[in-house]
A and B are shown apart, each in its own frame.
Chain A
Amino acid sequence: MIYLELFITFFQIGLFGFGGGYGMLSLIQTETVVQHQWLSTAEFTNIVAISQMTPGPVGINAATYCGYAAAQQAEYHGFMAVLGSAVATFALVLPSVILMILISKIFMRYMDTPVMQSVFTALRPVVVGLLAAATLLLMNSDNFATMTGDPWHFWISVGLFVATFVGTKYVKINPIQMIGFAAFAGLMLL
């Protein structure tokens, strides 16, 4: 049943999503695009893009959108699709709420122990890997077109990638402005 699937999936994502929004992305990608196929890679990237332009955490945005899309795919429409969004988002935040209450109530003093510190130290490089994986997973024909099939689209995409990368990292242009620029370029060139 779709609602149960959504709940279990997003509960797991909320429970194991280390590394903030971007760290969670490779998890969300693995679950929603690869495992359950609720979204295509293009749809997934679109919602990440929309998330950059809307307020709020990318995790919640992704859960809301994916819950809706998944319910629709399972032939639930209208209000029932909205229920999918609600279930996914609720499932995503539930582990955080439970965990933070537990920590606040009981475990606060254990956060600073050597044991926890060594666990966190081990997790940090893994989070870098998670981000790298998220980037690599998104480098496919859904987002960049194919070199042989649609060279114009492909090379423009590569150009936009490089421009955005350089612009954000070195020139320190605001991400929202970069998206605006890319949107305009897409409109004109693609």
Chain B
Amino acid sequence: MHYQLFKTFSKIGAFTFGGGYAMIPMIEAEVVDKHHWISKEEFTDLIAVAQSCPGVFAINISTFIGFKLRRYTGAIVAAAGAALPSFLIILLIALFFHRFRNIPWVESVFNGIRPAVVALIAVPTFNLAKSTHITLSNCWIPIVTALLIWLLGVNPILIILAAALGGYLYGQFIKPTENENG
């Protein structure tokens, strides 16, 4: 079973491009449909939890499922499986990239790629704003966050902690009174 876990999550880790959420269909196909390790409902709940938690999404999911199946060793094996393909591939690239980096045509290629990559990060920003329903009333939050980090060099960790605390206080003290008066 441990071997199955490792193999399955390595497969998921090795064949999914484009970040954590793109992995969801493949994870579902393997974990729910093929191996029946968890039910579809459990899977949906799990996605919600893994998305809300910090850290690498793929690792969150694999750890959770691994733990469910074989406790601590299961969790470690699944997480290791998910991380290993990327680790090895990038390590190889790191080992060789150093040598090729300064070749003129390689430089040109990456000079072209870099602005494109910035755009690839800009696009999800807008898409995410839409899907999280950023409106005129709360758009100050992402704007202030971005400005604090970009212009003032504030560490994002501080902002995350402040937001978590703010959310907690809002939920505990302000929202209940809003419901009473409303």
What range describes how many residues of A lie at the interface?
A: 35 or more
Let me know if B54 and A16 touch, CB within 8 A. Answer: yes
The smallest beta-carbon distance between B122 and chain A, in angstroms, is 4
Cβ-defined contact, A138 with B118, below 8 A? yes
With A55-B17, A122-B170 already in contact, the answer to whether A143 and B118 are too (CB < 8 A) is yes
Of the candidates A27, A82, A157, the one whose C-beta lies within 8 Å of that of B114 is A157
Q: Confirm or deny: A6 has a beta carbon within 8 angstroms of a beta carbon on chain B.
A: no
Cβ of A42 within 8 Å of any chain B Cβ, yes or no, is yes
Looking across the interface, which residue of chain B has its beta carbon closest to that of A84? Answer: B94
Scan A139-162; emit 1 where CB is below 8 A from any B CB, else 0. 100111100000001001110111
CA distance A20 to B23 in the complex (A): 12
B13 to chain A, nearest CB (A): 6
Residues of A with C-beta under 8 A to B111:
145, 153, 157, 186, 190
Supposing A118-B167, A161-B118 touch, asked if A89 and B112 sit within 8 A by C-beta, the answer is no
Contacts A16-B54, A97-B75, A164-B116 known; A55 to B85 CB distance under 8 Å? yes
The answer to whether B18 and A97 touch across the interface, beta carbons within 8 angstroms, is no
Contact A122 B149, CB 8 Å, known A22-B124, A115-B172, A190-B111: no
With a cutoff of 8 Å between Cβ atoms, the chain A residues found around residue B153 in the complex are: 30, 34
Which residues of chain B are near A48, meaning CB under 8 Å? 117, 121
State the Cβ distance, A140 to closest chain B Cβ, in Å: 10
A69 to B160, CA, bound (A): 28
Contact A126 B160 (CB under 8 A): yes
Contacting A at CB under 8 A, from B83-109, are 83, 85-87, 89-91, 93-95, 97-98, 105, 108-109
Chain B residues with CB under 8 Å of A184's CB are: 112
Give how many B residues have a beta carbon under 8 Å from the other chain's beta carbons: 94
- A27 in contact with B83 (CB, 8 Å): no
Does A15 interact with chain B (Cβ within 8 Å)? yes
How far is B115's CA from A127's CA once the two chains are assembled, in angstroms? Answer: 22
Q: A81 CB to closest chain B CB, in angstroms?
A: 8
A57-B53 contact in complex given A96-B79, A165-B122, A169-B126, C-beta closer than 8 Å: no
Docked complex Cα distance between A86 and B87 (Å): 8
Q: Are A57 and B56 in contact (CB under 8 A)?
A: yes
Closest 5 CB pairs of A and B: A186-B112, A129-B145, A122-B167, A118-B171, A56-B86
Residues of A near any B CB (own CB < 8 A) = 12, 14-22, 24-27, 30, 34, 42, 45-61, 64-65, 68-69, 72, 82, 85-86, 89, 92-93, 95-97, 99-101, 103-105, 108, 111, 114-139, 142-145, 153, 156-158, 160-165, 168-169, 175-176, 178-179, 181-187, 189-190
> Would you list 14 pairs from A and B whose C-beta atoms are within 8 A, ordered by A residue?
A16-B161, A46-B114, A50-B93, A57-B86, A64-B86, A64-B87, A93-B79, A96-B56, A126-B163, A132-B143, A133-B156, A137-B150, A142-B114, A153-B111
